[in-house]
Amino acid sequence: MGFLDASGDIILDGTLTELGRKRMANGNFQIVKFTLGDDEIDYQLYNKNHASGTAYYDLEILQTPVFEASTGINANINYGLVTYSKQNLLYMPTMKRNNKLQQAAAPHNGVFYLAVNDGTTAASLVTAFGGTQGGGHLKVLQAGQKTGTKIIIETGLATTELSGDAASVANYVTAQGLRSTGFEVSLDTRFFTRVYQPSAGSTMNNNGGNGEAVVKFNLQATSPTARDQKRLHTSLATIRALPTNVVRRQNDAKAHTETTQFNVPASCTALNFDLKIISNEMFNRYGQNVTVVGSDGNVSCRSIDTMVILTDKTSGATQELPIRIVKKI
């Protein structure tokens, strides 16, 4: 659906998706819920330095054309608006990839490389990316691997107005109910079979005194359980969220921000993936052959590019994870 402003009157333009038309044809179409979204709005256009004053701060945002209603099930609201009952929230969590911990995966040219578990692809890519000593192992995820390199995601308050000490976390995160209750993972089930998530015994905190990170992510597999209605060929899996107990202490030798991405952290998770047996024919149908160029060599691979989307079930914050599935030729 889309809102149209015509001479002061608000018009609701409703367009059925393919699924909606199918249900109407079957006689079981019924609207039971609705959501609002603002995918077309770039809030970075809000300009507090506009020369004409405060009335013009949001001018570019208000002049942004609004998307028309679309029939495509995967071309509507990707970033829905959320409602919070609390009226005294001063800060909202955002989501970031952790790039500070020893096992945190790093993208190569903006993409996470996921090697099929064939015994040769992962090792060849690690060598090409500089070997273990050069950090090459952090640029390669291996399908089905419970230990080693993993993608680590955090939520927290992206502000320097708070000190980041235990009181800040208690007052602005815990008391406001902003710890995540879990993360929803949307992934293409043509290629993925399972997601690896932290087990209940996993932790992320820092020691008092020296400030050193105390991090343990023991991964366990979980499978998608529901279809993702927003994207074709995708299903949803829910993975565990852990409290990020990393805080600033005045006398710690190591700053807490050397462990966490946030001055005031909230929650975290870690993940890896398992794959179906992807044939060469599937690689040809859905992907292409590429030459992976590393600092210490090149590797010829078959590849498939896909997008995994992670959503915080508490705040609604999202993170897109571009994944390149690769198999050495």
Between the two ends of the chain, the Cα-to-Cα distance in Å is: 47
Instruction: Give the CA diameter of the chain.
Output: 68
Question: Per-residue pLDDT tens for 260-284?
Answer: 999 999 999 999 999 999 999 999 9
Torsions phi, psi for 110 (to 5 deg): 85, 5
> Residues 51-99: pLDDT tens digits?
999 999 999 998 888 777 676 655 667 667 777 777 788 999 999 999 9
Cβ of 285: how many Cβ atoms within 10 Å?
10
Is residue 272 within 8 Å of residue 219, measured between CB atoms?
yes
Nearest to 75 by CA among 110, 42, 111, 37: 37
Residue ranges per domain, the chain? 2-62, 94-328
User: Which of the four pLDDT bands, split at 50, 70 and 90, describes residue 9?
Assistant: low
- pTM reported for the whole predicted model: 0.83
CA torsion sign, 113 to 119 to 121 to 124? positive
What DSSP string runs through 67-90? PPP-S-TTSS-SSB----S-S---
